[in-house]
Structure 1
Amino acid sequence: MSEIDNLQKADGIEENKLPINNDDATKKTSSEINEEFPAETLEAANDETSSQTSEVIKEDNTEVKENEKEDTENEDVINEIEASNAEDAEDEGNKERHTIEVKEYDKMSLESLAIEFEKLLKNEKIQAIRSHANDINNEFKTKFQALLDEKKADFLNDGGNEIDFYYTSPVQKRFKAAYKEYRNKLNDHYKSLEKNLKQNLSHKLEIIEELKGLLNLEENINTTYKHFKELQERWRNTGPIPRDKYNNAWNSYHHHVERFYDFLHLNRDLRDLDFKHNLDKKLKIIERAEELAKDDNITRAFRELQELHKMWKEELGPVERSKREDIWERFKNATKIINDKRQEYYKEIDKVYEKNLENKLEIIAKIEAIAAQESKSHSSWQKKIKDIEALRNDFFNAGKVPIKVNEATWSKFKQAVRSFNKNKNAFYKGLKKEQYENLQKKLELIKIAEDNKNSEDTDVTTVLMKKIQSDWKKIGHVPRKDSDKIWKQFKAACNHYFDKLHSKRNAASQEQIDAYNKKQDLLNGLKKITLSGEKDKDLSTIKEQVDKWKKIGRVPNDKRYIEGKFNKTLDGLFSNLKMDKNEVEMIKYENKLDTLNSGENNITNLDNERSFIKKKIDEVKGQINQLENNLQFFTNVDDENPLVKDVHNNIKKHNEDLKLWKSKLRKIKDLY
């Protein structure tokens, strides 16, 4: 239990009854002053009871000014405490307010703010969360407005008209419902409070009237004193009153308490006993205040200091006049130390706020710089949008700024973001025409895909489908509202065709495996053939086997090596025949062309083969020209010269190769 609790318990005082003021020495009656102070100190005593701007009669002007300055500073602190307690006097929830944690609402998301507000509403007294509710509400409105601006910008980018814009969200509805409940509960609280405040004020005024009447009672002084103590207890136990009536009511009450103590000069024992009791309690309050002056928790120390002032003013009566000045000065000095530390604490907080302000201004400057940059591509704008979003988050997480510049800083931030959004909107409005043209191009591709999705001409259609897929990727953006719809439509048509194609290929795979098995059997049989030695008959036999091979059909791609084995076997058979080399080569080439022309990509395969042969023809012609040019260097040389003969032989060989390549090219052209 704290010292302040002990003091309250010892004096039979309940917690949180009435607020605080400075000293019991507020308004002194003229009878007291005339009785206990000589004429030369009368002015000092009167000054002590009003604003306490001067403690004694000064001997020189310099000392007067210094003391007046110090007293004014002290009085400012006392007035601040007095004003706070006067406000709290109207609301019994003030102590709870001090114990509720104030979180960093500026760093919370919209959803977190709504959750925190609901938790306060559920777990705390309605009057105790007033400042928290205001802070959370202001933060929510600020962040939701930023979100609203962003959604509005997106709406305008998509071609919407500003007058048609509307946006709401579940978290907004949730917060509005909680805030409405808070306002209703708070209104109900104040209606009930207003009635109680008026009743309590009426009771306290009645107590004041009874205090007045004590001076006129003709009864034993002990009985009157007992009655006086009962009135004091009733005053303490009466609840809060309106704040605007608090000081007047307390001053009137204290005035008549002082008058009663004047009246007690007839029985000094009772008065001295009360003075001693009050002095003991006030000394304990001073000791506690001096302990608080050493406390590092400034906020907690100042809150308890308010309670001590409250007890000093509201719960305790005066002490003997000779000691009033000394104990009040001692209490004020402890108060000043605590307040000085508090002011230093707030200066440090102000430094943090100033640093936060610097950070926020730097963030705003970065946003302004990005907004001023020119960008002519969608990708560039998308990067800038991400950068701005990151800066917006940094701004919201940068902490509080001094309250005097808070509104201006927020306004400057909104203006910077609004400038960026304006430029962004202008860019995307310029893209609307291009996006519409892109939409028409993609719609044309969709029509091609849908018109050909059931085609059976797989060789042509497969190439076409792949081409329009490539073209689709090259076309730029379309309006966002159409993007998903047309993509699904295009994708469905393409998938329909390729699913059908793959299904057909899967069905054909078994047929190709069977073809491979048949060719393997044919190849094994071909290896066992024994030729008769008659050229024409043997050639007919070989061609017959080649025809059978062609008719079997395609084999799986991973089994195409069997074609090489077949050609190698043919080479062995042809080597036993006395046939022209080019004739044998053309027989084998016809079989190769048949294989190339039977696949799914036959056109592509034939095109590649034709390009290859043309290239070979050009190479052979180049070699022949080179050799013929070389002959020109052999002048006056006999044709029987070995070098000359070698060149002529090479030319002859290349001409035979050229003839073969040309024959192959004619065969390919025949297929076209």
Structure 2
Amino acid sequence: MLDEIKKLPNVEEESNLTPQNSEVPEEKKSPNLIQEEISSVDEVTDEGGNDEIPIEDSKSTSKSSEDKETDTVTEKSTPVTNKAIDEIESKIAESSEKIEHEAVEMLDYGILSLEDLVAELSKLVKENPVQSIHNNVNNIKNAFNVKFGELLKNEKTKFLEEGGNIIDFQYTNPCKSNYNSILYDYKVKKNEFYAKQDSQLNDNFENKLALIEELKHLIDHADGATMYKVFKGIQERWRVIGPIPRAKYNDTWRTYHHHVERFYDLLHLSNDLRDLDFKHNYEEKLALVLKAEELAELEDINLAFNELQILHKLWKEEVGPVDREHREEVWNRFSAATKKVHDKRHDFFKDLKSKFDENVDKKLAVIAGIESIDISKNKNRTDWQKSIKKIEELRDQFFSIGQVPRVKNNLIWDKFKEATKNFNIEKNKFFKEVKKEHLENLNKKKLLIERAIELKDSEDWDVTTEVMKKIQADWKKIGHVPRKYSDKLWKEFKDACNHYFDRLHSEQDAGNKEELEVFNKKKELLTEIKSTVDSETEITLETLKVYVSNWRDLGRVPYEMKHIEVKFNKLIDKIVAANSIDAKEVEMIKFENLINSYLEQKNYKKLNGEQLFVRKKIDETVREIQQLENNIGFISNASADNPLLKNVLGNINSFKEKLEIWKVKLEYLKKLDY
């Protein structure tokens, strides 16, 4: 019997069901023991207490006056220990309905797929007693809900990204349907089990009441020859009957124990048997007392309290009474040890209650921190990411604080949910707009990709190159697209652009080779002209025109070698200065040479700019001439040899000559076909 002290039985507590219950709650939740103990710290119990509360049942009969006088429990506690004993007896009553079962191996359900979770749930329900799989089923439910929630979220996101409306979203999954069906079967079995257990508990209660009546009858109609043997039979039958409803446990035991003591008090006809029982019971109870006193010194208060419950249950249910001489002594020692454990436990939970009260202030401070986060200035994703990070830090802090008193738990939790809910509403509103913008960007980038693919094989290099550059610039301005499309779109766009520009560079490489040859030829021509100039041979206008024509016919040089054009123009200026050549003619030759180079390069922007420049110079020159002619009016009376008049007339003639040149240039430009 004492071996039972060493360990707690493997039991599962089931809920109280009445015949009116149509079903068992979906998830049977055990009470929060810590919260209950904290709540009980300030409770006041009646330390007087009745020693026996009558048990009312259909089989009870009115008691005789003798019964009323003698039906009291002889093991009494002092007022200071009553509360400790009441607490232990309350816990024993709670465990009176517990049934033993073998635990089923607990797997790591978090790593299983949805299909494997359903298969494991089906196997558990089919192959194991329903009372043995409660924790396993709950863990499977938690794992399934997390995984299915993620799946549902992804499906919903996909639906919305494809343009669906949230109110039209529906999702069915065969795995979920199978899961619900198996879970329903489990609940049906659980209901049946609880209903059967309820019936069995009540049957056991009726059987124990019947045994009490038998014991009372045995005492009232004692037969010295057989009464002890019959009494032992009643004790054995009492032990094997099984659990009864917790609400009736303590009163039933007190009544039974009271009549057991009455029996021993009447067993004066066979003192040897009685004394032998008393001696054996005294030794058993002393062992329980010693164990209780050891528990009172344990640091692990929860372990001490749990094992103390076992000791009290053994005291009540397994060990009989002792003789009156030792009865009070042994009970007082047992009660004192019980009170010591109770007081240590009471102090422990009192300290814990104080910490829980402190946690209220800490959690309210965190909630205030969440509410103080200003999201009104959040304009972009970066701003929101910073706010989300702050919220996550505060959220982690909230959950790390620990528990609060149960009476305030819902209030604190509701305030926390409200604070985070307001943040999440605004966050979701922003990211919904972001998602909408991303979808618009997606369509814009798809159009650019289509355009790039259309142009990638074009050979209209000048026009297409400008268009492709604009497409690339537009791409950079568009912004983000949904992440799952980003890499695919970029690859398509990059491939189309690279295809075109690779072709362009190949074409340019071929052109560069030709331009390099042109440079070498122009270099030779420049050297040849220099030799003629250095020999001081007279160069006529016609010869100069040949030089310019030959130079232009050679073609375009590489951009980085344009300096040779500057050298050629300087050499032309030197020839004009050293020979009698009309400067106007030379000016037009150089102008035509420049314009023809633009034509060869197909640099139409330069040609248009040159035409605008010439028109502007014509307008400026006309205004200068008009201004000078107006100035002559102020000095019209001056003589012809007046220096000021001569200067003005000279300037007018100079501007008119320039005007003629600009007009010739404009006519030349207007005749071009480009």
What TM-score comes out, normalization by structure 2 length? 0.61
Cα offset for 1:593? 2.6
Match of 1:587 in 2: 589
Report the AA paired with residue 8 of structure 1.
Answer: L
Report the AA paired with residue 258 of structure 1.
Answer: E
Change (3 A) 1:253 1:334: same
Aligned partners of 2:72, 2:352: CA distance in 1, in Å? 35
Change (3 A) 1:565 1:187: farther
Instruction: Output one character per residue of 1:600-656: Cα deviation in whole Å (capped at 9) or x when no partner.
Output: 6x2233345556667777888999999999999999999999999999989988887
Aligned partners of 1:195, 1:649: CA distance in 2, in Å? 130
Instruction: Output one character per residue of 1:330-367: Cα deviation in whole Å (capped at 9) or x when no partner.
Output: 13421331331243144145336524652564377469
Q: Report the secondary structure of 2:601's partner residue.
A: coil
Report the AA paired with residue 281 of structure 1.
Answer: A
Counterpart check, 1:533 vs 2:527: no
Instruction: Output one character per residue of 1:85-108: Cα deviation in whole Å (capped at 9) or x when no partner.
Output: 335x324579x99xx9xxxxxxx9
Cα offset for 1:506? 1.6
Aligned partners of 2:585, 2:286: CA distance in 1, in Å? 135
Instruction: Output one character per residue of 1:238-265: Cα deviation in whole Å (capped at 9) or x when no partner.
Output: 9767756755775566456535543565
Do the aligned residues in 1 keep the contact of 2:452 with 2:496 (CA within 8 Å)? Answer: no
Aligned partners of 1:624, 1:79: CA distance in 2, in Å? 124
1:211-250 mapped onto 2 (5 Å cutoff): 218=225, 247=250, 250=253
Match of 1:606 in 2: 607
Q: Report the secondary structure of 2:580's partner residue.
A: coil
Report the AA paired with residue 99 of structure 2.
Answer: E
Aligned partners of 1:587, 1:339: CA distance in 2, in Å? 113
| Counterpart selection for 1:354 from 353, 356, 360 | 360
Report the AA paired with residue 521 of structure 2.
Answer: D
Aligned partners of 1:28, 1:438: CA distance in 2, in Å? 80
Do the aligned residues in 2 keep the contact of 1:617 with 1:658 (CA within 8 Å)? Answer: yes
Cα offset for 1:303? 3.3
Report the AA paired with residue 538 of structure 2.
Answer: G
Instruction: Output one character per residue of 1:130-185: Cα deviation in whole Å (capped at 9) or x when no partner.
Output: 57976996899699889979997997898744542235799x96996899499579
Aligned partners of 1:395, 1:145: CA distance in 2, in Å? 21
Match of 1:290 in 2: 296
Aligned partners of 2:113, 2:370: CA distance in 1, in Å? 25
Aligned partners of 2:635, 2:307: CA distance in 1, in Å? 122
Q: Report the secondary structure of 1:511's partner residue.
A: helix
Do the aligned residues in 1 keep the contact of 2:96 with 2:246 (CA within 8 Å)? Answer: yes
Counterpart check, 1:90 vs 2:92: no
Counterpart check, 1:77 vs 2:79: no
Do the aligned residues in 2 keep the contact of 1:236 with 1:314 (CA within 8 Å)? Answer: yes
Do the aligned residues in 2 keep the contact of 1:582 with 1:660 (CA within 8 Å)? Answer: yes
Do the aligned residues in 1 keep the contact of 2:91 with 2:309 (CA within 8 Å)? Answer: yes
Aligned partners of 2:612, 2:288: CA distance in 1, in Å? 113
Report the AA paired with residue 87 of structure 2.
Answer: V
Report the AA paired with residue 77 of structure 1.
Answer: E
Do the aligned residues in 1 keep the contact of 2:52 with 2:255 (CA within 8 Å)? Answer: no
Match of 1:313 in 2: 316
**Aligned residues with identical type, % of pairs:** 32
Greater mean deviation of Cα atoms: 267-276 or 441-450: 441-450
Q: Report the secondary structure of 1:338's partner residue.
A: helix
Greater mean deviation of Cα atoms: 343-352 or 660-669: 660-669
Instruction: Output one character per residue of 1:500-549: Cα deviation in whole Å (capped at 9) or x when no partner.
Output: 35414422421321221232133124303443524145324313422332
Aligned partners of 2:11, 2:446: CA distance in 1, in Å? 79
Greater mean deviation of Cα atoms: 345-354 or 613-622: 613-622
Q: Report the secondary structure of 1:598's partner residue.
A: helix
Do the aligned residues in 1 keep the contact of 2:455 with 2:464 (CA within 8 Å)? Answer: yes
Report the AA paired with residue 16 of structure 1.
Answer: P
Match of 2:548 in 1: 543
Do the aligned residues in 2 keep the contact of 1:597 with 1:605 (CA within 8 Å)? Answer: no
Greater mean deviation of Cα atoms: 540-549 or 355-364: 355-364
Match of 2:524 in 1: 524
| Counterpart selection for 2:279 from 255, 273, 286 | 273
Change (3 A) 1:163 1:534: closer
Aligned partners of 1:401, 1:146: CA distance in 2, in Å? 30
Change (3 A) 1:252 1:615: farther
Change (3 A) 1:335 1:19: farther
Do the aligned residues in 1 keep the contact of 2:448 with 2:475 (CA within 8 Å)? Answer: yes
Greater mean deviation of Cα atoms: 142-151 or 411-420: 142-151
Report the AA paired with residue 590 of structure 1.
Answer: E
Report the AA paired with residue 511 of structure 2.
Answer: E
1:108-507 mapped onto 2 (5 Å cutoff): 130=134, 160-161=164-165, 163-166=167-170, 180=183, 183=186, 187=190, 194=197, 218=225, 247=250, 250-251=253-254, 254-255=257-258, 257-259=260-262, 261-262=264-265, 266-267=271-272, 269-292=275-298, 295=299, 297-319=300-322, 320-348=326-354, 350-351=356-357, 353-355=359-361, 357-358=363-364, 361-362=367-368, 365=371, 387=387, 391=391, 394-395=394-395, 398-399=398-399, 402-404=405-407, 456-464=459-467, 466-467=469-470, 496=496, 499-500=499-500, 502-507=502-507
Change (3 A) 1:412 1:209: closer
Aligned partners of 2:112, 2:413: CA distance in 1, in Å? 17
Do the aligned residues in 2 keep the contact of 1:92 with 1:240 (CA within 8 Å)? Answer: no
Aligned partners of 2:655, 2:305: CA distance in 1, in Å? 110
| Counterpart selection for 2:9 from 16, 35, 44 | 16
Do the aligned residues in 2 keep the contact of 1:126 with 1:185 (CA within 8 Å)? Answer: no
Do the aligned residues in 2 keep the contact of 1:207 with 1:235 (CA within 8 Å)? Answer: no
Cα offset for 1:306? 3.4
Aligned partners of 1:412, 1:160: CA distance in 2, in Å? 34
Change (3 A) 1:219 1:44: closer
Aligned partners of 1:155, 1:47: CA distance in 2, in Å? 73
Instruction: Output one character per residue of 1:59-92: Cα deviation in whole Å (capped at 9) or x when no partner.
Output: xxxxxxxx5xx667446533542344335x3245
Match of 2:30 in 1: none
Aligned partners of 2:236, 2:597: CA distance in 1, in Å? 117
Report the AA paired with residue 292 of structure 2.
Answer: I
Aligned partners of 1:318, 1:17: CA distance in 2, in Å? 29
Change (3 A) 1:13 1:366: closer
Change (3 A) 1:338 1:539: same
Change (3 A) 1:556 1:109: farther
Change (3 A) 1:199 1:657: same
Do the aligned residues in 1 keep the contact of 2:93 with 2:246 (CA within 8 Å)? Answer: no
Change (3 A) 1:126 1:545: farther
Change (3 A) 1:545 1:44: farther
Instruction: For structure 2, list consecutive stretches of 5 or more residues without a partner in the other structure.
Output: 14-46, 55-67
Instruction: For structure 1, list consecutive stretches of 5 or more residues without a partner in the other structure.
Output: 1-6, 30-41, 56-66, 101-107
Instruction: Output one character per residue of 1:5-46: Cα deviation in whole Å (capped at 9) or x when no partner.
Output: xx934x8987528999x9xx97699xxxxxxxxxxxx99994
Instruction: Output one character per residue of 1:390-448: Cα deviation in whole Å (capped at 9) or x when no partner.
Output: 64785477326654455566666666777778788999999999999999999998887
Aligned partners of 1:523, 1:655: CA distance in 2, in Å? 38
Report the AA paired with residue 546 of structure 2.
Answer: T
Match of 2:599 in 1: 597
Cα offset for 1:277? 0.8
Change (3 A) 1:73 1:629: farther
Number of residues of Structure 1 aligned to a counterpart in Structure 2: 597
Change (3 A) 1:92 1:587: same
Instruction: Output one character per residue of 1:540-596: Cα deviation in whole Å (capped at 9) or x when no partner.
Output: 43134223323xxx4444444444444455455555443344543443343333333
Q: Report the secondary structure of 2:297's partner residue.
A: helix
